[in-house]
Chain A
Amino acid sequence: MEYAHIECLGGKIARPVSRSDTSTKYFECRRDFRLNVPGRFVCMFLFSNVYPYLYYQVLNFGMIVSSALMIWKGLMVVTGSESPIVVVLSGSMEPAFHRGDLLFLTNRVEDPIRVGEIVVFRIEGREIPIVHRVLKIHEKENGDIKFLTKGDNNAVDDRGLYKQGQHWLEKKDVVGRARGFVPYIGIVTILMNDYPKFKYAVLFLLGLFVLVHRE
């Protein structure tokens, strides 16, 4: 049986499609896309109705990660400290701070170091920052300052902790001054450090949550 060609928009000929209903003949028009790579991504974004869900989740995850990074970097700039939030790791400042408390730091140059302040400092050659209180300062006219620290819960000052031959701390050793604090929350970081399995479990659960969470 002859039949007339059915034209699609754009000039192509419609292709016959077989269906179970034999009394009617079906034709279909298909548009072949052959876009370049960027075009394909744009197309996927604009017209795709096959992968939107997975794509959104990946995009979501990427946005969460970059937002977190932006907030952290922003905090670093605003506070002037390379480590604006630290977790208290030892009990040397009890009963004020316990292991696991979170401290918020600033390290602005205009803030002079004065006794009684809680400073977070690093000893040269050591990674772990220490949170103690300033006990003594000697400041020269030009602003050069040397100071001594002591933990509230320690019987003696920190000279024993400093580097061999080092008697004082200087501004360059300071990571920041503690301005605010929240109890307990940092215990998660300590747990993750001490028990790697816990860390993997947390990361796994986070990943799962992001992927499964429906907007």
Chain B
Amino acid sequence: MVKSCEDGGHVWKGIAYRLTSSCSTLIWMSVSSRKNVDDFTGPRERSDLGFITFDLSADLKPIFDWNVKQLFLYLSAEYATKSNALNQVVLWDKIVLRGESTKLNLRDMKSKYFFFDDGNGLRANKNITLTLSWNVVPNAGILPLVMGAGRMSVPFPESYETTKSY
């Protein structure tokens, strides 16, 4: 079993946030036999399922102005595989309402949504780019989608983890 642990942190201009990804492991499973995957009537082939845990700290105060009702934050993973030139998967999201605390300090977060690939493209994939983006929902007006300035690149290991516990 190979585990690859990445430890990196950057501070970007504008919105300062630190993104660290630790210990991404890869599990190989047959989708049709999984019972605790609710409502997932995915295709019957075996697909790669990736697991990423991350730390995230951010200060969102600069984004909030008089017309911002809420922020929809999401962490997305972007990568390319042999079968698909572009894949994007949302791993985690959060709604931050106006008035709530604008400082985020999250440790050891697991992804909210299953990181399934459409096929087997995660194995040995050297470049999974994690980006924090947000959708600004105004009181009234334009709905912009902003991508955070920094990205983090994470590789997946060459072989699958065969343990069954998550």
Contacts and interface: CB of A to CB of B under 8 A. Distances in A.
B85 A139 contact: yes
Interface in B69-87: 69-70, 72, 74, 76, 83-87
Interface residues of B, number: 35
A116 B70 contact: no
A86 interface: no
Contacts, number: 84
B84 A138 contact: yes
A13 B142 CA distance: 75
Interface on chain B toward A: helix, strand, loop, or mixed SS? Answer: strand
Given A96-B72, A115-B76, A152-B72, A182 B140 contact: yes
B39 A157 contact: yes
Nearest to B84: A138
A139 B93 CA distance: 22
B63 interface: no
A95 B95 contact: yes
A199 interface: no
A117 B84 contact: no
Interface stretch (A63-71, A73-81, A173-181): A173-181
Given A138-B84, A181-B141, 19 more contacts: A96-B137, A115-B88, A116-B72, A116-B74, A136-B89, A137-B87, A137-B88, A138-B118, A139-B86, A140-B83, A140-B84, A140-B85, A141-B85, A152-B95, A156-B38, A157-B39, A167-B41, A180-B142, A181-B143
